[in-house]
Amino acid sequence: MNAKRGFASDNNSGVHSDIIKAIQEVNSGHTIGYGSDKYTEKALQKFKQIFGKYTETYFVFTGTAANVLGLSAVTKSYHSIICAETAHINEDECGAPEKFTGCKVLTAETPDGKLTPDLIKKHLYGFDFEHHSQPKIISITQATEMGTVYKPDEIKQITDFAHKNKMLVHMDGARISNAAVSLNLPFKAFTTDVGLDILSFGGTKNGMMYGEAVVFFNSNLAPDFKYIRKQGMQLASKMRFIGAQFLAFFENDLWKKNAKHSNEMAQYLVSKVKNIPAVKITQPVEANGVFAIVPKQIISELQKEFFFYMWDENKSEVRWMTSFDTTKEDVDQFAEKLKALL
């Protein structure tokens, strides 16, 4: 029998009840489609309050779309995009960035998922040389795919480095709420305030049903994004239901409560397994992901009850993600089972 909640991914969870409630509350009468309704407009205002008045925000359906369309808005096909080898845009989007932007995606190896100017600079050459894809934008992930979190000054080093080279910086913020909670900082402190250019702001992995946002920190960056979104097949007709979800997401700091809980459950999980000799935590646990090496022979048995993914078959490294709805009991049962198997 499977557990009610596993540790596969924060998108294996359901939807927070406040989000569902918000959806119900706006479900009355007609509103103009495609984003000209009052809920969407109010939600977009909220994004301006959070990130600053010079920002422009657009809602899309998925995180992949937020990344790809955001990158698409500021690139031409002869540009290159630089990211960590583990980045979602490199590993998990089936080549959507290449297909949709035409750009070359260049990667840097980084064990903890974080880029630095030093890791990036090997790709910065061939400027003005027509035979070579022109480096245009650096994409970082916050929190990273490895469960680590960039500090504001680490991001600033990257944006300074990028801007000095006439490049831009994009952040894949599928788990930006977990990062904000981890840093104990408002979103603005590690985005607007450190020179970020584009953000994919994630909702789905933190308790929403669907809906992500593309935030441009300078409205000149994408004067034509509405066409890019529509042509990108990401313009919702009944947009009010995305607007309503985001309103609920920010109302009473639901985003923070969800992310805080999720991060705490990751710490709780660590506390439960770190002293097991056969288990080795492999990354700093700064958000809601726990990476660990566990004995290969118990993995499939453990997976029978609790969903989770193998991360690196060769190293017998697994990934455990906690979620807004993970409970202490889930963790306790999981740790018990793990111990029992060893």
Q: Which parts of 242-261 interact with a copy of itself (CB under 8 A)?
A: none
Contact 243, 34 (CB under 8 A): no
Between 72 and 282, whose beta carbon lies closer to a copy of itself? 72
Number of Cα atoms under 13 Å in the Cβ half of residue 213: 28
Among 235, 247, 259, 269, binds a copy of itself (CB under 8 A): 235
| DSSP string for residues in 21-80 | HHHHHT-SS---STT-SHHHHHHHHHHHHHH-TT-EEEEES-HHHHHHHHHHHH--TTEE
Decide if residue 64 touches a copy of itself (CB under 8 A). yes
Q: How far is the CB of 139 from a copy of itself (least distance, A)?
A: 15
Decide if residue 271 touches a copy of itself (CB under 8 A). no
For 256, counting Cβ atoms within 10 Å of its Cβ (0-12 exposed, 13-18 middle, 19+ buried), the class is middle
Report helix, strand or coil for 98.
Answer: helix
Decide if residue 42 touches a copy of itself (CB under 8 A). no
Q: How far is the CB of 174 from a copy of itself (least distance, A)?
A: 10
**Which residues in the 296-335 window bind a copy of itself by CB under 8 A?**
307, 323, 325
Between 79 and 159, whose beta carbon lies closer to a copy of itself? 79
Between 31 and 116, whose beta carbon lies closer to a copy of itself? 31
Among 77, 218, 252, 297, binds a copy of itself (CB under 8 A): 77
Between 99 and 328, whose beta carbon lies closer to a copy of itself? 99
Q: Quick one: which of 177, 205, 239, 229 has its CA closest to 71?
A: 229
Contact 73, 225 (CB under 8 A): yes
Helical ranges in 126-252 per DSSP H:
152-164, 176-183, 225-231, 240-250
Among 55, 86, 133, 283, binds a copy of itself (CB under 8 A): 133
Decide if residue 262 touches a copy of itself (CB under 8 A). no
Q: Which of the ranges 44-52, 138-146, 154-162, 237-245 carries the binding residues for a copy of itself, by CB under 8 A?
A: 237-245
| DSSP string for residues in 43-56 | HHHHHHHHH-TT-E
Decide if residue 165 touches a copy of itself (CB under 8 A). no
- Cβ partners under 8 Å of residue 319, min gap 6: 289, 290, 291, 308, 309, 310, 311
Between 47 and 306, whose beta carbon lies closer to a copy of itself? 306
**Euclidean distance between CA atoms 53 and 49, whole angstroms:** 7
**Which residues in the 174-233 window bind a copy of itself by CB under 8 A?**
204-205, 209-210, 224, 226-233
**Total number of residues that touch a copy of itself (CB under 8 A):** 77
Decide if residue 290 touches a copy of itself (CB under 8 A). no
Q: Which of the ranges 8-16, 150-158, 163-171, 263-271 carries the binding residues for a copy of itself, by CB under 8 A?
A: 8-16
**Euclidean distance between CA atoms 318 and 238, whole angstroms:** 39
